[in-house]
């Protein structure tokens, strides 16, 4: 059965049983406590905690509340990255799931899963697992009974590590699970479906929970959260030995697998597909957070492809073709891969990253080969130099080293890394007098010149932000505070409700449009009265001198898009900001909201 049919049957199976079909959410979640979306339940977290009401939000065509929801969710996990290349692990994958919030529980969830696998898919179940119990959570006898009644005899008990799911992020819903294992084409038993009984709210992260440092409280809306990897189910149904031989990889990326080393081809295929989806959801390579994950993914892929598949970096057209093939194949289900502008942006962001990496990579490779000619171990210092000056991710170094049969002194690498961090901290303190936050211009906080440049870009972006907020939300919006660092700008403003996601998107769009227009930023000194008459915005809490500076974005003060009382510094043209993204909008006090914006 091909994956097109699997998708259709899964959604249809649960739709017929009273579920509402919900589209996948973005890989960049609303939830600030996680970097990327790792599971289907993430977009529904608030229905379990009781903050949102599923009965109001998920309505069937006949007007009645749905029994639950069903989705196929784009997911990304770094936790399995080292296993990518084997039969069943991926970074990006699609997770099929059904969910209930305060509605059906173990009996229905297990019975439907059993029916879907054995009757709809006609796949035998090898065995299932259930929770064996822990200090705080009792053994799951109920699930065991249900499975037995359904005729499954191989029921294995497992513990917290394997069959207790969640929470995602720093707190959230979690609970014991039961898993279904089926055979792939190589006769291996593979976990295909994880059915979570969300019963608890965990007050801390999963790590804290396992260390006994977080509490489990009963959830307001007990429910079901299931997740079945589309790629794994396809492998079992199509009788292939690995997920890479399923149509999900062969259709868009089949020719990659003719190019040489098979494990490398798998890693490249996984990383390429993942990078395409991340880029299309707006993640851009950077040295932080999700951007850093993406950068490492792309770099590791490039290293693998160059060395093992002989796809040279200067032939970025080859990569582009693969990315286009991925977008075309998956675009049927994911509109963001089908949108012309977004496609072009995705490709150009990718090409930019390749060319950025390409020069330093070639140098690094030369150094690496020179070292290899005389040595059988790469010292921590050499590895760190390659990492620091040439942007070689450690994983990539490891890949090359293992292929050449040499070792990298990873301990040495780590101590070199730590030493370097200390030195750079000390250097910075010496340079700026040891006060932590240094180049404090009154408006901006930055530690060195490089940071100051970033903060300056964000400062101008803050002016655009204020005007964009007024455009979208009305002139009642006034600045109540702001804080600009090199990492982000935080802007507080008067407004009495949460912004909708559409409003946030519009604000973001306006700012980015003004950036694209590459408007000049000017400054004029004038009397306070003149400035007020010109319509320049000012921060009401501040006391201003009689003569003030007005920064304006536009060709003249009169037709400027934004005008504000301000001491600077600012960029000369908005194009220097390059692009921004709103990362968070939240309440800060009654009638006041706080919004955070970062550079792209």
> What is the x/- site pattern for ligand SER, positions 152-171, by CB under 6 A?
-------------x------
227 touching ligand SER, by CB under 6 A: yes
Q: How far is the CB of 109 from ligand SER (least distance, A)?
A: 11
Q: How far is the CB of 385 from ligand SER (least distance, A)?
A: 39
Degrees to nearest 5, angle at CA 544 with 541 and 546: 155
Measure the N-to-C terminal CA separation of the chain; round to a whole number of Å: 41
Distance CA 598, CA 579 (A): 9
40 touching ligand SER, by CB under 6 A: yes
Query: Out of 29, 68, 85, 97, which residue is the one contacting ligand SER (CB under 6 A)?
Result: 97
Instruction: Give the nearer residue to ligand SER in terms of CB position, either 200 or 361.
Output: 200
Distance CA 384, CA 386 (A): 5
Distance CA 1, CA 546 (A): 76
In degrees rounded to 5, what are phi and psi of residue 178?
-130, 140
Q: Which of residues 192-221 bind ligand SER (CB under 6 A)?
A: 194, 196
Q: How far is the CB of 99 from ligand SER (least distance, A)?
A: 8
Instruction: Give the nearer residue to ligand SER in terms of CB position, either 228 or 477.
Output: 228
The piece of 133-141, 222-230, 368-376, 532-540 that touches ligand SER (CB under 6 A) is 222-230
Q: Residue 312: CA atoms inside 13 Å, Cβ hemisphere, count?
A: 4
The piece of 7-15, 24-32, 35-43, 400-408 that touches ligand SER (CB under 6 A) is 35-43
Distance CA 228, CA 324 (A): 27
Tokens of 553: 């974005």
Judge whether 314 and 358 are in contact, CB under 8 Å: yes
Instruction: Give the nearer residue to ligand SER in terms of CB position, either 20 or 39.
Output: 39
The piece of 24-32, 38-46, 349-357, 524-532 that touches ligand SER (CB under 6 A) is 38-46
CA-to-CA separations, 4 to 23, 257, 324, 335, 337, in angstroms, rounded = 16, 22, 19, 16, 17
Q: How far is the CB of 228 from ligand SER (least distance, A)?
A: 8
Distance CA 138, CA 147 (A): 18
Neighbouring residues of 133: CB distance < 8 A, sequence distance ≥ 6: 139, 140
226 touching ligand SER, by CB under 6 A: yes
Q: How far is the CB of 568 from ligand SER (least distance, A)?
A: 48
Tokens of 527: 């009397």
11 touching ligand SER, by CB under 6 A: no
- Other C-beta atoms within 10 Å of 476: how many? 11
Tokens of 346: 């995705």
Distance CA 427, CA 449 (A): 13
Query: Out of 28, 34, 35, 39, which residue is the one contacting ligand SER (CB under 6 A)?
Result: 39
Residue nearest ligand SER by beta-carbon distance:
227
Distance CA 484, CA 457 (A): 10
Query: Out of 94, 140, 199, 225, which residue is the one contacting ligand SER (CB under 6 A)?
Result: 225
Q: How far is the CB of 97 from ligand SER (least distance, A)?
A: 5
Query: Out of 11, 41, 182, 507, which residue is the one contacting ligand SER (CB under 6 A)?
Result: 41
Instruction: Give the nearer residue to ligand SER in terms of CB position, either 95 or 400.
Output: 95
Q: How far is the CB of 77 from ligand SER (least distance, A)?
A: 9
The piece of 33-41, 258-266, 424-432, 553-561 that touches ligand SER (CB under 6 A) is 33-41
Closest-CA residue to 387 (of 268, 308, 300)? 300
Instruction: Give the nearer residue to ligand SER in terms of CB position, either 36 or 326.
Output: 36
Q: Which of residues 309-368 bind ligand SER (CB under 6 A)?
A: none
Q: How far is the CB of 8 from ligand SER (least distance, A)?
A: 20
178 touching ligand SER, by CB under 6 A: no
State the residue for tokens 């007005």. 550
Q: What is the DSSP string of 538-580?
A: --TTS---SEEEEEEESSSSTT-SEEEE------SBGGGG--E
Instruction: Give the nearer residue to ligand SER in terms of CB position, either 175 or 391.
Output: 175
Q: How far is the CB of 100 from ligand SER (least distance, A)?
A: 12
Instruction: Give the nearer residue to ligand SER in terms of CB position, either 196 or 214.
Output: 196
29 touching ligand SER, by CB under 6 A: no
Q: What is the DSSP string of 474-536?
A: -TT--EEEEEE-SS-EEEEEE-SSPPPHHHHHHHHHHHHHHHHTT-BEEEEEEEHHHHHHTT-
CA-to-CA separations, 157 to 178, 180, 357, in angstroms, rounded = 9, 12, 48
Q: How far is the CB of 592 from ligand SER (least distance, A)?
A: 35
Closest-CA residue to 349 (of 534, 357, 369, 458)? 357
Instruction: Give the nearer residue to ligand SER in terms of CB position, either 39 or 309.
Output: 39
Distance CA 241, CA 182 (A): 13
Instruction: Give the nearer residue to ligand SER in terms of CB position, either 39 or 66.
Output: 39
Q: How far is the CB of 467 from ligand SER (least distance, A)?
A: 41
Q: Taking each helix axis as running N to C, give the angle between helix 394-404 and helix 380-390, from 0 to 180 degrees, rounded to the nearest 10.
A: 130
Q: How far is the CB of 227 from ligand SER (least distance, A)?
A: 2
> What is the x/- site pattern for ligand SER, positions 441-480, by CB under 6 A?
----------------------------------------
The piece of 24-32, 36-44, 78-86, 125-133 that touches ligand SER (CB under 6 A) is 36-44
Tokens of 285: 């390579």
Kindly list the residues in this chain that would bind ligand SER in the complex (CB under 6 A). Answer: 39-41, 97, 165, 194, 196, 225-227
């Amino acid at each position: 059965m091909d994956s097109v049919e699997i998708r259709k049957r899964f959604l249809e199976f649960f739709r017929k049983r009273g579920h509402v079909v919900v589209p996948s959410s973005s890989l960049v979640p609303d939830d600030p406590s996680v970097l990327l979306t790792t599971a289907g339940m993430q977009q529904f977290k608030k229905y379990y905690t009781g903050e949102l009401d599923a009965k109001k939000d998920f309505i069937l065509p006949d007007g009645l509340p749905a029994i639950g929801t069903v989705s196929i969710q784009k997911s990304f996990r770094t936790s399995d990255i080292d296993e990518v290349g084997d039969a069943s692990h991926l970074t990006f994958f699609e997770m099929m799931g059904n969910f209930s919030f305060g509605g059906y529980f173990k009996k229905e969830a297990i019975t439907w899963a059993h029916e879907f696998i054995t009757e709809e898919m006609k796949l035998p179940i090898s065995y299932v697992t259930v929770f064996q119990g822990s200090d705080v959570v009792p053994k799951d006898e109920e699930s065991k009974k249900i499975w037995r009644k359904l005729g499954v005899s191989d029921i294995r008990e497992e513990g917290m590590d394997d069959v207790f799911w969640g929470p995602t992020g720093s707190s959230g819903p979690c609970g014991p699970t039961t898993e279904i294992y089926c055979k792939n084409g190589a006769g291996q038993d593979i976990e295909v479906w994880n059915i979570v009984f969300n019963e608890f709210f965990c007050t801390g992260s999963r790590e804290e929970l396992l260390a006994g440092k977080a509490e489990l409280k009963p959830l307001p809306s007990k429910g079901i959260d299931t997740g079945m990897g589309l790629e794994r189910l396809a492998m079992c149904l199509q009788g292939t030995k690995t997920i890479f031989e399923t149509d999900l990889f062969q259709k868009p990326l089949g020719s990659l697998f003719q190019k040489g080393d098979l494990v490398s081809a798998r890693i490249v295929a996984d990383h390429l597909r993942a990078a395409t989806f991340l880029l299309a959801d707006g993640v851009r390579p950077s040295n932080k957070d999700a951007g850093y994950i993406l950068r490492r993914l792309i770099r590791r892929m490039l290293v693998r492809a160059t060395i093992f598949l002989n796809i040279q970096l200067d032939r970025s057209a080859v990569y582009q073709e693969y990315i286009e093939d991925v977008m075309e194949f998956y675009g049927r289900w994911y509109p963001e891969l089908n949108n012309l502008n977004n496609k072009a942006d995705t490709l150009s962001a990718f090409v930019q990253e390749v060319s950025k990496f390409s020069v330093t990579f070639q140098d690094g490779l030369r150094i690496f080969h020179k070292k290899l000619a005389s040595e059988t171990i790469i010292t921590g210092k050499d590895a760190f130099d390659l990492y620091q000056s040439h942007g070689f991710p450690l994983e990539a170094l490891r890949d090359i080293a293992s292929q050449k049969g040499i070792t990298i002194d990873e301990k040495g690498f780590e101590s070199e890394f730590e030493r370097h961090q200390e030195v750079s901290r000390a250097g910075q303190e010496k340079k700026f007098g040891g006060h932590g936050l240094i180049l404090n211009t009154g408006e901006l906080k930055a530690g060195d010149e490089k940071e100051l440049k970033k903060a300056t870009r964000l400062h101008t972006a803050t002016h655009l932000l204020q005007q964009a907020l007024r455009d979208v939300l009305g002139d009642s919006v006034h600045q109540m505070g702001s804080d600009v660092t090199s990492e982000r700008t935080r802007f507080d403003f008067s407004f009495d409700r949460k912004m909708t996601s559409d409003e946030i998107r519009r604000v973001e769009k306006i700012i980015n449009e003004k950036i694209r227009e590459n408007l000049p930023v000017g400054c004029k000194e004038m009397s306070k009265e003149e400035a007020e008459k010109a319509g320049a915005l000012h921060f009401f809490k501040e006391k201003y001198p009689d003569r003030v500076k007005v920064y304006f974005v536009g060709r003249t003060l009169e037709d400027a898009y934004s005008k504000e009382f301000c001491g600077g510094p600012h960029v000369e043209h908005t194009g220097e900001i390059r692009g921004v993204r709103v990362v968070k909008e939240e309440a800060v006090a009654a009638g006041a909201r706080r919004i955070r914006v970062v550079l792209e």
